[in-house]
Every structure is written in structure tokens, then in C-alpha cells.
Structure 1
């Protein structure tokens, strides 16, 4: 069957022009020595990270903007506006080819996983959503699922933009088992002993020797995969502080005045990172087998 040539989209044309500009800058900086080349690569790294964070960054920006400027008397509740805005962002990213269908699958999958956990956690009083809305399931406004989905979106986009490769990676089946145990513990620790110490030990055992190889421009560099998980969890924790500061959701200790989210939550986000990582890995694995 003859394949038709895909249309050239504005976003694709922009990426091509940026690639040409990058090569031109690289040639000019090469004569200035290794320091200039290193700074150029650092800037490229930052730009790629910003692109990978696009969905999550826009969601955090919306939390801040609606907290500061959204009118209290608006006929559309703030939470409902956030839900509709998240859907619009998702559709725009797909339409502009800034996000692939595979990445959208990850977002949808993690949206479901996150919303199910939200329903349980809010029922248990772990946190709450203080504002009224129509687009919600029980005590959970639908925009909350997109906050979880933005984590999956970041990992999926970073995987593609940095051309991730791995060495000493644990078997896929073992990572699925760990992710399932982590997800189950988010529910069962309310009734049974918390298994997090065992889960952290299993995490180190499985990923302690793993490396992720990432390409900024031409050469693949590497870092411990476990360190990557910790760094992403740190940024998620910072974003969560923005969320609670803007009263998008609140922990029990924050109902009478804002305070920073306890640093202990970093561990929970680290474990949640493993779930999202395994979901993205599953999509990539399915894509390879489908070729």
C-alpha cells in the first residue's frame, strides 16, 4: 500500500527551524572552546526539560492564575474551568503535533489511575478540595486527574526528547510487580501496616544499579536512574506546594492556614513516580512489539 506523505504542521516546521538554529549556534561556539560548548548544551538541556514539562507547567500556571485572578462570582466554578482548560490544552497539544497519540494514551491511563486513588483518599480524609464544582466524581473535581496525568506526560515527553536508553535495567515484569504493590499500598496502609519501608528497599534493590542514558544534542550521557526518580519527585513536591498554596486542594493541617507540604511526602511522590514510569515503559514496550 502506498503511504501518503504526512502534512507539515506549524509545530513540526518550528522544530526543524530550531534544529537548524541549534546547529548554526553550535558551529559558532565550537571555536570558543569547551566552556562555550558546555554552556550551549546546558541551555539545550533546559529547553528540552521545559518542553517535557509543557503539560504540567501549564497546569501549574493555571492554578496560580485562577487563584489570583479568577472571579469568585463567575458562573463557571474555578475547578470546572480548570477541567475544561486541561482538556483544551490536551487537544491543542495533539492538534499541533506537540504531543503524540502514544503520550496521550499515557495521560489518559494515568488520569484514570490517579482519579481512582483520589476517590479513595478524599473519602479517607487524606486531603480535600474545598471549592464547589459540577464536573466531579464524589469529592474529587475532574481536573485533579490531569495533575496526575501531567507526571505521565512529562516522563513520556522526556523519554522521546532525550532518546532514553537504559543499562542494567531490571526485568519489566519485576517493575510491574513493584508498581502494583506500590499502588495497592496507597490503599491498604489505612487498614494494614504501611509497607513503604519494604517498597523503598525493593526500589533500591531493583533500580540501584540502573542507568538512564539521555541525549541532549548528539552524545548520550548517563545518570543513575534512581537519582532521576528522586529529582522528578522533588519537583513534583514543589508543584504540590503551589497547588496547596493556591487552595486547589488542602491537607488537614492546612485548613486553618497554609504551611509547606511535609518533606515526608517526597517519599510518596517517589513511589508514585515508579507507577507512572512503569506505565510509560509499558506503552513504549507495546509500541516496539507492535512494529
Structure 2
């Protein structure tokens, strides 16, 4: 099976600056994902998802690596709201295995630490470790930020739950590796660009992502999605979320196999458009090897 850190990279113009933006501080899992997917590229830390997108729009970065879902935590908040109006296109996907490490300043030992600092999601993924070592969880804004804080304090009684990259950047010792409770902890990312990909017809495995809102008529969703079944299109993701704060305004995000030029998907999207108040294709991109390996495993 291919490693989740392997990706199919979209083509970038030769004159590009080879910079990829992410949300977080150096050493974050998004930073690690950028380095795995695009080795040799410069990574640009940004304060928010919107700031990472803005860096691409302004040309300070060629791509943005944005997490969209995690196998344990589920959907990443805000991403779905930001994507449709970002002005960017999805040109790739990346799957990153989350491997938490227990990090501490030099001189600390398993016996000396009393507290573990990290993002609340990360702390919730290492409950067995916290119980085994009787560590008090301390919530921080993010994993890499927790590592930076621990390095600055230098206390042998405080540790961080973060990535191996964070240990390298902030000069911390790795007391234990792979301390996560579940080994299938994997995050999926969208790779965003200013220009869309134009996939060659009939070649390769492709995924198309789009958002839509159905018209306010009876059975609209059922009728809108029927075209994918009748045309033999495999839908791998369908999520709903409210827009504009209205309980009656529901938008859907979907991923399907294929590209819009294929006859089956083209007909399915035409049928979807008929029953939708709004339909926007976010991008078509190569299916990641991790996705294909999971499909074969099923």
C-alpha cells in the first residue's frame, strides 16, 4: 500500500516561486503535509485558512494546503464555508497520517513530566497516554504552538503532544513516538491554486468536488442525486451545512469519481443543475494513491 504521505502533484509553471501556504505555525501537521507532498518547496505559515488562501490569491504562494477532514475528528470547521467564494480551485488532495509524539525539553524524562500541552483535538487522541503517565492535559491553540511554548519554558515537568517536525524545529526531545490511541488517524487536505487543472480525457483516476444548493421543492435532493446513480457515478462524499445562518438554507459539498467531460458525470451534473438553485464545481484533481489503495482494500 502506498504511504498516505505520497501525493500526485498538480503541474506548476516553471517560473513559479515554489511556495505553499498553510494555516498554523512552523511544525504544524499542515506544515509537515506540505513538506511531504511538495519536498523542496518553501512553506509559508499563515494565521488563518483565509490568510493562506489570500497568500495564493496575491501570488505570495503558488498553492495552499488546507485540511478538510480527519478520520477521527470529522469535518474541519470553516473550510467548507470558505471554499466556494475563495476564488481558488482544488487541484489536488493529500492524505497525511497523524503521528503524535510526546516532546519535552532536553533533560526531561518520562518520570519527570507532569503536564501535556496541545490542541484539544490532539489531547483527545492520546487519552491512553495521559492515563498511563498520569499527565494533566493543558489546552493550547495548536500542537506546534504548544511545542514552541514548551521549548521556551524549558521546564522538565511540561511536555507537548506534537509532530516530529515540531521537535526538530524547536529543539525538543522525543520521549515517545506514535502515542495516538488510533493508528488510522489520518487527515485529508485540499490543495488549492489560482488556476484549475484541465485533466486529459480518458486518462487516469480523477476526483471532482462541487457545492450545490437544491431548489425548495419536494424531494429535490432525492431527484438531484438520482442522476449519479442512473449514470453510474460513484459519490464518495456528501456533507450538508447551513449557509447564511438560516436553518432553511442548506448547502452540500460532494466528491465524486471522474471528471466533468466524461459522459456519465456530465449528464449527472446537468441533472443536478436542473434541481439546484446553485451549483459550483470547486475543482477536478488526481485521486490520491491512499484513496485508491483504500478502495482496493474494500
User: Same-fold call, TM > 0.5?
Assistant: no
After TM superposition, the score normalised by the length of structure 1 is 0.22
Q: Larger % of strand: which?
A: 2
Q: Larger % of helix: which?
A: 1
After TM superposition, the score normalised by the length of structure 2 is 0.22
